[in-house]
Structure 1
């Protein structure tokens, strides 16, 4: 009898196809029919073109369509082989997956080490009522690890599998404490007895924040190249049409370049706007009851529907970053600092909402942290003016290097001597960048969090739980030592692993380090009275934990 065959109170019955068993199971056979339909659809354009051109392929127009048909058929064949040689099973202690034709792999994850069970569905999966289930255990792409991916299960079996792997979930009303395996108590544990609480929904007006990006040109060039060979396959000369559209000789080279940059950028911006709607359609960020307390769940997507679930007991903080070119719009990227997620995944599972206005990002990030006082809305302490001098020194040095390089190129005849005057443009821009970088600096410590802000190209405000700080690193360069500055880094097992508060005053850096990680540095400071005296602190003050 299945371990989950009985109906639990408030819980859905799990089909036997994904129940806890020692028998190996297959993926959904619907994938075969979906791939068969894809292979037929990929062949149709080439077949229609052959009929249209009466079999004439001498012009080479049909080869792209024939190549598309070959890719579709070969992909379908590989998917059928993958289905044939793939097996999985869910036991009481393990999730196991066997796959591969030539190179066989047998992978397993202990169920008590599972950190995420996410689902995704591309358009073909949704039409066939299938889902892709990704089971992760805090893997890191940098080490070559990956989640177990079941591609694909029926929608009902995918939901049942999620229930099976989370069958120990805390039911509403369960007020047990939420503690991770490193002994960390999440502030979100107080919400474990709440029903589903929606923190953010899809905002159509945010498309304006996601249209202006350097990737607009990459997208436009990719779409333009694809459109060029696609229309050329039916005999339409797109390049010639554009060449006859305007009198490019009378416009001149500069005007032509300007029109091309603006046109390509506008085309790419529209593409990014459409991409925003397709990726984030019907977005919902909600706090739901989970296995050990509460879970942060994201659902989004129009053609490809994705669901990401994050265990809030593993969330150690949040970060709001503002790209420099979009800072005037108030555009912000919002993500959580958590363990158990691949920070380098293309899907960016740490991002909780798409790029949007800063005020809204602060409100959502504060709600996720569950703090009484939103740490993102606090006024931060400024850094000393010596930090600005350090940046001005580096800006001037950079301008000098650029000027020296231009001089060498002018002497060797590569560029005209007039180009050396370009350093008069570079130097003020560097000084302005130094001022912007200095204005970004800030830090503060409140009862539960360490708040740090820095960055030129990407101004990031990081809020990290004090109890999550595992290591404190204090370092100073030669120039910092001369200016009496230090950089304090708070290291943690979550997110990027470490977050910096650069160019703090030397007298404040040790006290900041002591308060950032209560009790962590006390044995070292208390054992060295000289270190405390150097910073103007008494031995009692240096060795005491801050309240």
Structure 2
């Protein structure tokens, strides 16, 4: 038997660091070991059968005979579905969970039994997720987060799946931050009918099992349908189109119809030539992918809402979204360390931006616990939301100090060396007539493109210390402005490479246990680096710096704000 516990999750036998607050007593029924809902097994099996239905209908009712070589996708879907249903049955049989007065516990595993324990006072979020198959059968997937560090191999606690009512009751129970005395007083008042519950009590489940309307929810943003334009055009459109066309091709191949031959015949009759055919294919595939991306965005973010929800003395940034598959994620604001707004290079002309929180306990790559609090949309909306989350005036609106010209020279040198590599690689084959001449010209054409990228990257640089926040802006493909709380900086580093030393530059890295872990101010003037580092992390360098001069405050005229491409 192995016990799966980690830092930040607590243990049933080991005490966490510091004093342990008095935990809330659980309801009597919650102290018993409970199972997941058995409907999860039948849901997976039914999904597998339904996924085979279109092919079976086409074969048996239309009367078309599929080729044996085209049947393997159908067989693969059937095998995967059966394996998934069996895995869900085994997981249901061997998974138990319970909520005690101090802990959330889960036991699972067949050959290797795992007992996972999470302290209730460490619970930071209880998120619910429901795909279409879950919603139809009244099930929810519950994710209990305790501010875990995903980089350290920790994970949230998943319960897949509970009934809708049980998920709502579990959420209300675990997010209840009231003391035992307050809870007992409220319960006594409710039984006698003498007084209502406190205004800041968490929302209890309604009669239908869903949560009641939040009385203390402060809505920051809701979906605007025209945001779909910001989410239709990207390289992912071609990948999505490729997946759709591949599925369509194999579906018709099972019926003995070759779509590739049909498309080739149509192209031959059109007499477009090779170049025209390729151009038309790129345009058509791009349009198919863009439409698919638009439909996917609208179904994923339908009824989107970003709100601040207060439960007792704590508050969360909660997002709700989804048409067929719904998702609700709460992010504990006490663990937030800042915000970042990214602007993709090719779409800055239309004001596109991505908004993410810098927080502990959420992975940048985990779709189950996303750091994004807004869908990709207008940057003015992102700045407005940031002002409400961080407080007004927003650090994002502050002027940023420009970096010295030496930072531009460094980037121009790197661009030249990077462009020289492919040109040097093809020079000898071209000189010996082993490769066409145009290949060398194409390699040389990369140089002006690289120089342009160096200029854009330099113009994106900027930094400032605004009140309690450190503001850092950098990036070429995505110009990202990050606002980090100064008291969240645990380590500050100042470093120089050989080229930076010759150019009189330094890089300041502010490290924190959230987000990317380190937020850099690259190519700062060397004589300002230490003083800026001391201001960025108050108190961290005080005993090492003697008489360090204060860096000059950024002036609006010298700022890089609004200067980027």
User: Please, what TM-score do these two structures have when normalized by structure 1?
Assistant: 0.85
Q: 1:398 aligns with which of 415, 418, 422?
A: 418
Aligned to 2:208: none
Q: 1:116 touches 1:310 (CA, 8 Å); kept in 2?
A: yes
Matched, 1:197 2:218: yes
Equivalent runs, 1:139-288 vs 2, <5 Å? 139-168=148-177, 195-247=216-268, 250-288=271-309
Instruction: Give per-residue Cα distances to partners, 1:244-266, cap 9 Å, x unaligned.
Output: 22337842222222222222122
Q: 1:290 touches 1:311 (CA, 8 Å); kept in 2?
A: no
Instruction: Give per-residue Cα distances to partners, 1:452-507, cap 9 Å, x unaligned.
Output: 10111111001111111111111111111111111111111111111011111122
Q: What is the alpha-carbon distance in structure 2 between the residues aligned to residue 416 and residue 336 of structure 1?
A: 50
Measured after TM superposition, the shift of residue 59 of structure 1 is 4.2
Q: What is the alpha-carbon distance in structure 1 between the residues aligned to residue 55 and residue 247 of structure 2?
A: 16
Q: What is the alpha-carbon distance in structure 2 between the residues aligned to residue 457 and residue 399 of structure 1?
A: 17
Matched, 1:326 2:335: no
Q: 2:489 aligns with which of 445, 461, 469?
A: 469
Q: What is the alpha-carbon distance in structure 1 between the residues aligned to residue 272 and residue 200 of structure 2?
A: 72
Matched, 1:435 2:455: yes
Q: 1:166 touches 1:291 (CA, 8 Å); kept in 2?
A: no
Aligned to 1:20: 30
Aligned to 2:330: 309
Q: What is the alpha-carbon distance in structure 2 between the residues aligned to residue 281 and residue 14 of structure 1?
A: 35
Greater shift, 433-442 or 114-123, is seen at 114-123
Q: 1:468 touches 1:492 (CA, 8 Å); kept in 2?
A: yes
Matched, 1:104 2:113: yes
Aligned to 1:357: 378
Matched, 1:452 2:461: no
Q: What is the alpha-carbon distance in structure 2 between the residues aligned to residue 212 and residue 332 of structure 1?
A: 13
Count of residues in Structure 1 that have an aligned counterpart in Structure 2: 498
Measured after TM superposition, the shift of residue 14 of structure 1 is 9.3
Q: 1:345 aligns with which of 366, 377, 384?
A: 366
Matched, 1:503 2:503: no
Instruction: Give per-residue Cα distances to partners, 1:272-313, cap 9 Å, x unaligned.
Output: 111111111110100011354211111111111111011111
| CA RMSD, 1 decimal | 2.6
Gaps of 5+ in 1: 1-12, 176-192, 538-547
Q: What is the alpha-carbon distance in structure 2 between the residues aligned to residue 214 and residue 409 of structure 1?
A: 33
Aligned to 1:545: none
**Residues 254/520 of structure 1: CA separation in 2 closer, same or farther (3 Å cut):** same
Q: 1:172 touches 1:194 (CA, 8 Å); kept in 2?
A: no
Matched, 1:34 2:55: no
Q: 1:281 touches 1:302 (CA, 8 Å); kept in 2?
A: yes
**Residues 219/46 of structure 1: CA separation in 2 closer, same or farther (3 Å cut):** closer
Q: 1:494 aligns with which of 501, 505, 514?
A: 514
Q: 1:416 aligns with which of 436, 443, 452?
A: 436
**Residues 411/159 of structure 1: CA separation in 2 closer, same or farther (3 Å cut):** same
Measured after TM superposition, the shift of residue 47 of structure 1 is 4.6
Measured after TM superposition, the shift of residue 63 of structure 1 is 4.3
Q: What is the alpha-carbon distance in structure 2 between the residues aligned to residue 24 and residue 31 of structure 1?
A: 18
Aligned to 1:190: none
Q: What is the alpha-carbon distance in structure 2 between the residues aligned to residue 536 and residue 196 of structure 1?
A: 42
**Residues 91/391 of structure 1: CA separation in 2 closer, same or farther (3 Å cut):** same
Measured after TM superposition, the shift of residue 235 of structure 1 is 2.7
Matched, 1:298 2:298: no
Q: SS where residue 346 of structure 1 aligns?
A: coil
Measured after TM superposition, the shift of residue 320 of structure 1 is 0.2
Measured after TM superposition, the shift of residue 31 of structure 1 is 2.1
Q: 1:292 touches 1:313 (CA, 8 Å); kept in 2?
A: no
Instruction: Give per-residue Cα distances to partners, 1:33-89, cap 9 Å, x unaligned.
Output: 434533543454455455348796654444433443343333223222221221111
Q: 2:150 touches 2:362 (CA, 8 Å); kept in 1?
A: no
Instruction: Give per-residue Cα distances to partners, 1:503-525, cap 9 Å, x unaligned.
Output: 11122222211211122211101
Instruction: Give per-residue Cα distances to partners, 1:407-434, cap 9 Å, x unaligned.
Output: 1332454422343233442111111111
Aligned to 2:98: 89
**Residues 65/50 of structure 1: CA separation in 2 closer, same or farther (3 Å cut):** same
Q: 1:383 touches 1:442 (CA, 8 Å); kept in 2?
A: yes
Q: What is the alpha-carbon distance in structure 2 between the residues aligned to residue 249 and residue 523 of structure 1?
A: 77
Aligned to 1:181: none
Q: What is the alpha-carbon distance in structure 1 between the residues aligned to residue 265 and residue 319 of structure 2?
A: 49
Equivalent runs, 1:115-126 vs 2, <5 Å? 115-126=124-135
Q: 1:38 touches 1:76 (CA, 8 Å); kept in 2?
A: no
Q: SS where residue 495 of structure 1 aligns?
A: coil
Q: What is the alpha-carbon distance in structure 2 between the residues aligned to residue 37 and residue 174 of structure 1?
A: 42
User: Please, what TM-score do these two structures have when normalized by structure 2?
Assistant: 0.82
Aligned to 2:563: none
Q: What is the alpha-carbon distance in structure 2 between the residues aligned to residue 44 and residue 225 of structure 1?
A: 19
Aligned to 2:10: none
**Residues 504/436 of structure 1: CA separation in 2 closer, same or farther (3 Å cut):** same
Q: What is the alpha-carbon distance in structure 1 between the residues aligned to residue 406 and residue 79 of structure 2?
A: 64
Measured after TM superposition, the shift of residue 403 of structure 1 is 1.9
Q: What is the alpha-carbon distance in structure 2 between the residues aligned to residue 37 and residue 345 of structure 1?
A: 27
